[in-house]
Amino acid sequence: QVQLAESGGGLVQAGGSLRLSCAASGRAFSTYTIGWFRQAPGKEREFVGAITWNSGYYADSVKGRFTIFRENTKSTVYLQMNSLKPEDTAVYYCALQKSGLAAQGLASDFGSWGQGTQVTVSS
């Protein structure tokens, strides 16, 4: 059983940056694909990006602004968010891939969701 916990969210002005963390408890995950998703009120959960052991994948809406990297010795994956926009405001979640292809970015392919961390970008 794997447990994930997101942290690092907060309030930031448009154009600013935040770094989110996704930490696994009780398990190293160097060979596991980790996905990042976000959900704004009244909207569906949206794929942000994912990282395998050797590749990263990103939604078109965040390409060039967001970067995912991992520090396997700490069992932690990071989401570096730069040039933030108000439309990035959402609760951000990380999850483990359990099926499918990381590049597809389907929420149904992921599990072990954390509780999420709120990111608010002011205009």
pLDDT, tens digit, 9 for 90 and up, residues 74-121: 889 999 999 999 999 999 999 999 988 888 999 999 999 999 999 999
pLDDT at 65 over 70: yes
pLDDT at 29 over 70: no
What 3 state SS string does 47-59 have? EEEEECCCCEEEC
Phi and psi at 74, nearest 5°, equal: -105, 5
pLDDT at 2: 81
